[in-house]
Amino acid sequence: MQNLYLCRNRIMVDVAGADITATIDEAIRLSAHENLPVIFEFNGVNVTVCADSDPKLIYRDWHRALKGYIDKNVGPYPNPVLTDKEKASDARIEGQNERRRQRRLERYEAEARLRRKKVEAKLVNAPAIELADEDGWQKIKENNKNVYGAAVVSYAERWARLMQLEMANGKCLEDVAETTSQEANLDEDITAFIYGCAVSMLAHCWKYGERLRRWHNLKYQIGNEGEKANESGSVLNPALLFFGSK
């Protein structure tokens, strides 16, 4: 465990990044060693354990608190057996939680359908992707026929067409690239890595790929690596940048 604090004859523990079951076990061992109660907060639930606390019961009530069945303070000695009233209350609250989850899912799906319809309506009037390297684009499509690769190609093409549509209406690529990248994200659940792959594909084959590459590199640089990438002709991978910046 990291960062221990003695407070009014109790030990306060910072457990950021830990696992709950391992944290409970370690907190009980620490309590036995120091002969003091140990308190830690995990995912918004305040947990108190003593040397003789039952780790399974502590975990049970931590999970119940996390679900909202009980308040956010648990331990050190939960009741070994839940009463029928407690079980009924847990089931009632879980039913409410499930109904809320279902409503959220329905709203999300309705919003996604509406967003898809709007994008599809725009694409009806959007020109086909304008390619600088037709052969290169066909090779990319041939080499990405699996579900994952095909999703990247589909996203890249849709994104390029949306940018072309905006540019045909007098807008600059650099001003519409970000918003259209979000519009183009329909079903693929585009990650930073997929986004970077799409930029790379378009940079090599799309008519406006060089402008997109340069815009992308400057937008996602943390220091001056985007400027260096523009000079070398490469494409920054935002997934690696985000990982490396943590």
pLDDT surpasses 60 at 3: no
Across 19-132, the runs of DSSP E, i.e. the strands, are 38-42, 45-49, 73-74
Average pLDDT in the 28-50 region?
91
CA distance linking residue 216 with residue 200, whole number of Å: 10
Q: What is the pLDDT of residue 4?
A: 47
pLDDT digit string (tens) for 119-146? 999 999 889 999 999 999 999 999 998 9
- Give, as one character, the DSSP assignment of residue 36: S
Nearest to 69 by CA among 87, 36, 93, 95: 93
Token pair listed for 190: 């585009």
Res. 243 pLDDT band, cuts 50 70 90: very low
Q: Give 109 or 66, the one with higher predicted confidence.
A: 66
**E strands of the chain, at which residues?**
2-7, 10-14, 38-42, 45-49, 73-74
In the sheet where 10-14 sits, what is the strand order? 2-7, 10-14, 38-42, 45-49, 73-74
Answer yes or no: pTM beyond 0.75.
no
Assign 223 a pLDDT band (cuts: 50, 70, 90).
confident
Q: How confident is the model at residue 14 (pLDDT cuts 50, 70, 90)?
A: low
215, 173 contact by CB (below 8 A):
yes
Tokens of 168: 């045909």
Distance separating alpha carbons of residues 121 and 47, to the nearest angstrom: 53
Interval 12-33 mean pLDDT: 80
pLDDT of residue 244: 33
Burial class (CB in 10 A: 0-12, 13-18, 19+), 80: exposed
Q: pLDDT tens for residues 168-221?
A: 999 999 999 999 999 999 865 778 888 989 999 999 999 999 999 999 999 988
Share of the chain above pLDDT 70, in %: 89
**Residue 233 and residue 136: Cα distance in Å, rounded?**
17
How long a stretch of residues is the chain?
Answer: 246
Evaluate the omega torsion of the peptide bond into residue 55 and state whether it is cis, within 30 degrees of 0.
no
